[in-house]
Amino acid sequence: MKPLGNTRALKLAGLVYLAVLSLVLVLNSYTRNHHNWDVIGYTAAAYKLMGETGTDRLSARTYDDIRRATAPETFEKLTTGGYRAAVYQDPEALRQQLPFYSIRPLYVALSIAGSKLTGTIAGGTALVSALCGGLLLILGWAAVSPRSIALAALLPFALYEAGLGSLARLSTPDGLAALVALAALLLCQRHPRPAMLLFALLPLARTDFVILLPFAALLLHGRVPRLWIAAMLGFGAATVVGLNAFSGNYGYLRIFDFTLVSGPQPYPAEMK
């Protein structure tokens, strides 16, 4: 009986340790959010999703939200200097940025939900990213602790140094997409049907994560009916095509030019 009691005490201590570290990561990430420029794009996409269609009104609501969520010096950094100033000063330039962000509806929708707690959409994006960081820590623990408690105890610090701390402070869907992908992978062996559902939802978090679906099909082969796997692949492909068409996305060649060649442009719709 004594070894059993020791095991329970060790597990309880581990859960307390994990809860404290996860809470610290969430609070630290939320209060020290990087406020990268993407917060503007996702805030604007959220207002558009909520029904704001007027170009001028969309710009005004977006930047008012950002102003309320950030310190004055941060707001100035987000709205001055070349590209950022042009998007701030011309509502049409902001409208043309939206296709880059509205193709991530899961993150946008969760940010809207998070705004009910934070009071701003910008704060909602920070809250979602911070919570995803904390949940990634928990999933990492769930994956490693059955094999080694000692290794699991070191894992949070290893993940933080590997970039989880920075990821959780960015207003981007990267943490959310990583969380959904990791959860799906952990469920594959014992719970293949929920895993398949999560894999199918991945393109809603990041469309480029659709490339993981063929690997998911290999992992799920023999665990769920082939017809279900085909449906997952078809749903993922249809989601990517539908999101790009609905949002008027510019296509990968222009995105490549925008991000890596010409650099950010205030009017991407006019790029050749």
Per-residue pLDDT tens digits for 29-76:
999 999 999 999 999 999 999 998 899 999 999 999 999 999 999 999
Question: pLDDT of 68-100, one tens digit each?
Answer: 999 999 999 999 988 999 999 999 999 999 999
Question: Alpha-carbon distance 187 to 191, whole Å?
Answer: 5
Question: pLDDT of 173-213, one tens digit each?
Answer: 999 999 999 999 999 988 999 999 999 999 999 999 999 99
Query: One-letter amino acid identity for 268?
Result: P
Per-residue pLDDT at 1: 42
The two tokens of residue 93 are 């330039």
Q: Which residue has the higher pLDDT, 148 or 117?
A: 117
Which DSSP symbol is given to 224? B
Mean pLDDT of the chain: 91
The answer, yes or no, to whether residue 3 has pLDDT greater than 80, is: no
| Neighbouring C-beta atoms of residue 80, cutoff 10 Å | 10
At 37, is the secondary structure helix, strand, or coil? coil
How distant, in Å, are the alpha carbons of 3, 62, 122, 202 from that of 144? 21, 42, 34, 23
How distant, in Å, are the alpha carbons of 29, 67, 167, 255 from that of 162? 15, 32, 10, 27
Q: Give percent of the chain above pLDDT 70.
A: 98
Which residue from 177, 51, 42, 54 is spatially nearest to 100, judged by alpha carbons?
42
Question: pLDDT of 247-264, one tens digit each?
Answer: 888 888 888 888 888 888
The answer, yes or no, to whether residue 5 has pLDDT greater than 80, is: no
At 223, is the secondary structure helix, strand, or coil? coil
At 42, is the secondary structure helix, strand, or coil? helix
How distant, in Å, are the alpha carbons of 63, 74, 93, 192 from that of 271? 25, 29, 13, 44
